Amino acid sequence: MQSTLGIGLLGAGPVTQAIHLPTLARLSDEFAIRHVTDTDPAVAKAIAARVGAVHSTSIDALLGDPAVEVVVICSPNSFHAEQLIAACHAGKKAVLCEKPLAMSYAEADAIATVSAETGVPIVVGAMHTFDPGWRAATAHWGELPASSHTIRSSIVLPPNSRFEDVATEVLSRPAFPAPDWSDVQVLAGMIHAGVMGLAIHDLPLVRSLLPRYDDLRMIDARFLAPFGYRILFVAGGKSVELHAVMSETWQPDWTLEAFSDDQALQVQFTPSYVHAGSAVSTLTTAESARVFGPTAVNGYEAEWRELAAIVRGEVAPPSTHDLVDDVRFALAVADASAEAVRSTHNADAAA
Amino acid sequence: MNAPTTHARTTLATLPLSLPDPTGVVFVDGDPGWPAELARALRAGAAGIALVHPAPVDFADLLDEKSATIVVVDSRWASNPVTDLAEPAFRAAAVKGSRLECRVVMDPGCDFATALLDQLVLIRALLAPVTKVQVQHLSDRALHAEGLTDLPLAVDFSIVSTAALPASASLRLLTSDGKVELTIPSGDTAQPARLITVGPDGAVLAPTQYETGHRASLRRVCELQATRSADGMADLRRLHADVVTTTAAIGDHLAVQAPA
């Protein structure tokens, strides 16, 4: 009989409450939450009490807790790299870092260095990369990564709260800011946030279809109020369209598509937060269509199960080089999108 | 007069009572030489002409023809009978500042200019004429473009070539609390289009109509002939405006891309 792995959660906001706690409740044979840290002591205490864990307000307390074997980083994006590096130096068995892994190239470099130094396995909580529907498609897609020429990710979502509120009962939800849409710097910042916060779910999948991205050429990028974007770029000889809109619709529609001359892939993902099963992938040729999924296991559960297998040494951890490359790609798209928004605004102003 | 094509014969066979004398209608194939063929049919006194899937070529001279002939443009997507239901749905959903997505899948080797023209004709039928198009990316496999209408409404166009999927056109207009989405299969079969309207109360699938675009076009010829007072050249004038927009868009893009 195996013992459970002790989990320490850094950050106890909606992602921890609505995603990780319900997922870990499904996997109580594998994991037990031992420590919850949040800068808000009331939130830390309340969330820890839900799972019978200790609580604190400092990362040092969590990293110094011997009951914590795996650190989960669910803090705001700007703290991810610093906390991940600290967790690796603390000699934990593994670190699960919510996406994005980092917010700058320098942070990405530092993560690559610490990974090489410490050997601590790093997993990024990009649940779509673990989704059984996606994984099954990649196992059967043959030459599609090389032959695809057009890629599109389109995300239409109701407000997150609609799903958070059925995944759990959220304590302390941050308010959505009221931006000044007339300020181009705000718009540039919003599209950057859109890439690093929303498009980031599918960018590792997109990158797996690109032979390279160092030649990325941004064609058009615009922020779509109240929150969304349309981004069009060319990389590795392929055109890539990223589209997202968040509205008051009740109907989510999260689709990734790739086309080659003789094959088409469509992946329809279930919305975030809820456990609604895996994506459904369809690989189509002129002669047939093969459908993968849905399975009962979604990306969150698959991500945690893989983490457990990594800690036990049953499967190899993901290549940190690949994870760092994923975030470099995301940063390249985000930076180029923000710059395109500024350039378009300046050109319009000059006209 | 050209020999009836297969789709002309099969379409005529679906309207035996409306068109007891099938020689009264001429089908003109929309290959690039179509203006000359159409001019011949007009001067021969055809009662009705169906111009099938026209390519974007200059035909300004044709608009000066004095003819009582009814000319109907049998466009790849716009001729689908779903347009009668889709037009009010899209018009009701469109507001100032909306963005319409218009995506087309075509066979490899398709002519992107013709595919773009077909999209413009469709959007004109459903919402409004597209008055300007800027091609953002054009390769031998895909085209991306942005268009504007006077509503004002922006249109994101894409054309993707693949043999993996049958040709189709998809339009999606996202609203603040739902969407209108239309998928039109190739007009060569009677596979129905799907029109879905999503709002706060749920999703509604419009009744499906198993009629080919060719038959719907031919039915329009008959209906316009029956009115006797119809402007038989109206379709051609609208097509001309869309051809001008299409060729300008492609031409502008190629001029920018050409080496100095």
CA distance B63 to B45: 16
pLDDT at A177: 73
B142/A239 CB distance under 8 A: yes
CA distance A229 to A206: 17
pLDDT at B18: 86
Q: How many CA atoms are closer than 13 Å to the CA of A96, on its beta-carbon side?
A: 27
pLDDT level of residue A2 (50, 70, 90 thresholds): low
The stretch B46-57 carries a mean pLDDT of: 95
Q: Which amino acid is at A157?
A: L
pLDDT at A180: 84
Residues A338 and A228 in one domain: yes
Of A47-51, A110-114, A197-201, B8-12, the one with minimum mean pLDDT is B8-12
Residue B72 Cα distances to B53, B164, B175, B221, B233, angstroms: 11, 31, 33, 6, 8
Among A150, A232, A261, beta carbon nearest to B136: A232
Among A156, A245, A264, beta carbon nearest to B164: A264
pLDDT at A225: 84
Q: Which residues of A touch B (CB under 8 A)?
A: 149-150, 152, 156, 219-220, 224, 230, 232, 234, 239, 241, 243, 245, 247-251, 259-264, 284-286
The stretch A216-235 carries a mean pLDDT of: 95
pLDDT above 70 (res B4): no
Residues A143 and A76 in one domain: no
Q: Are strands B153-161 and A94-97 parallel, antiparallel or unpaired?
A: unpaired
CA distance A328 to A124: 14
| Alpha carbon of B136: minimum distance to chain A alpha carbons (Å) | 7
A249/B203 CB distance under 8 A: no
- Residue at a domain's end among A74, A95, A124: A124
Kindly report, residue by residue over A114-140, the tens digit of the pLDDT.
999 999 999 999 999 999 999 999 999
pLDDT above 50 (res A215): yes
pLDDT above 80 (res B5): no
Q: Are strands B168-174 and A31-37 parallel, antiparallel or unpaired?
A: unpaired
Residues A63 and A176 in one domain: no
| Alpha carbon of A215: minimum distance to chain B alpha carbons (Å) | 15
Diameter of chain B measured on Cα atoms: 60
pLDDT level of residue A62 (50, 70, 90 thresholds): very high
pLDDT at B256: 85
Give the residue numbers spanning the domain of A24: 5-124
Alpha helices in chain B (DSSP H): 6-12, 34-43, 83-93, 112-126, 213-227, 234-257
Which residue, among A259, A285, A344, would best test binding to B if mutated, counting the most B CBs under 10 Å from its CB?
A: A259
pLDDT level of residue B260 (50, 70, 90 thresholds): low
Total tally of structural domains belonging to chain A: 2
The stretch A65-75 carries a mean pLDDT of: 97
- Provide the total of helices (H) and of strands (E) in chain A, helices listed first: 14, 14
pLDDT level of residue A266 (50, 70, 90 thresholds): very high
Among A150, A224, A262, beta carbon nearest to B142: A150
pLDDT level of residue A1 (50, 70, 90 thresholds): very low
Residue A100 Cα distances to A37, A268, A308, B127, B131, angstroms: 20, 22, 21, 41, 41
Name the residue in chain A with its Cα closest to that of B146. Answer: A220
pLDDT at B179: 97
- Answer whether A69's CB lies under 8 Å from A120's CB: no
Strand partners, B28: B51
Residues A214 and A148 in one domain: yes
CA distance A174 to A176: 7
Interface pTM (ipTM) of the complex?
0.94
pLDDT at A302: 97
- How is residue B207 annotated by DSSP? P
Residues A154 and A70 in one domain: no
> What does chain B come to in residues?
260
Residues A71 and A183 in one domain: no
Structural domains of chain B ordered from first start: 6-76+214-250 (no CATH), 83-209 (3.30.360.10)
The stretch B11-26 carries a mean pLDDT of: 84
- Answer whether B213's CB lies under 8 Å from B76's CB: yes
Q: What is the CATH number of the domain that holds A279?
A: 3.30.360.10
Residues A247 and A115 in one domain: no
Kindly report, residue by residue over A82-100, the tens digit of the pLDDT.
999 999 999 999 999 999 9
A252, A165, A220, A167: which is closest to A333 by C-alpha? A220
pLDDT above 90 (res A246): yes
Kindly report, residue by residue over B161-194, the tens digit of the pLDDT.
999 999 999 999 999 999 999 999 987 789 999 9
Distance between the two ends of chain A, CA-based, in angstroms? Answer: 71
pLDDT above 90 (res B228): no
B154 is written with which tokens? Answer: 């922006």
Q: What is the CATH number of the domain that holds A49?
A: 3.40.50.720
- The C-alpha angle with vertex B249 and arms to A212 and A336, in degrees rounded to 5, equals 30
- Answer whether A158's CB lies under 8 Å from A248's CB: yes
Give buried/exposed letters for B161-195 (b at 16+ CB in 10 A, else e): bbbbbbbbbbbbbbbeebbbbbbbbbbbeebbbeb
Residues A138 and A270 in one domain: yes
The stretch B103-125 carries a mean pLDDT of: 97
pLDDT above 80 (res B70): yes
Q: What is the pTM of this model?
A: 0.95
Q: Which amino acid is at A2?
A: Q
pLDDT above 90 (res A203): yes
The stretch A70-89 carries a mean pLDDT of: 97
What angle in degrees, to the nearest 10, is found between the helix axes of B83-93 and B112-126?
Answer: 70
Residues A117 and A135 in one domain: no
B250 is written with which tokens? Answer: 């492609």
Name the residue in chain A with its Cα closest to that of B99. Answer: A224
Q: Give the gyration radius of chain A's Cα atoms.
A: 20
Among A239, A247, A284, beta carbon nearest to B137: A239
B252, B188, B242: which is closest to B55 by C-alpha? B242
pLDDT at B74: 96
Average pLDDT, chain B: 93
Kindly report, residue by residue over A137-190, the tens digit of the pLDDT.
999 999 999 999 999 999 999 998 999 998 998 897 877 778 888 899 999 999
pLDDT at B96: 87
B244, B256, B224: which is closest to B50 by C-alpha? B224
Chain B CB contacts of A261 under 8 Å are 108, 141, 161-164
Residues A92 and A175 in one domain: no
Residues A182 and A253 in one domain: yes
Kindly report, residue by residue over A14-59, the tens digit of the pLDDT.
999 999 999 999 999 999 999 999 999 999 999 999 999 999 999 9
pLDDT level of residue B3 (50, 70, 90 thresholds): low
Of A96-100, A204-208, B228-232, B237-241, the one with minimum mean pLDDT is B228-232
Residues A258 and A116 in one domain: no
Element of type H or E holding A305: helix A299-311
pLDDT above 50 (res B26): yes
- Answer whether A94's CB lies under 8 Å from A122's CB: yes
- Residue at a domain's end among A124, A156, A182: A124
Most confident of A115-119, B6-10, B228-232: A115-119
Alpha helices in chain A (DSSP H): 14-15, 21-26, 41-51, 59-63, 80-89, 105-118, 127-130, 132-140, 144-147, 160-167, 184-197, 203-207, 299-311, 320-350
pLDDT at B1: 43
- Residue at a domain's end among A124, A150, A178: A124
Element of type H or E holding B194: strand B194-199
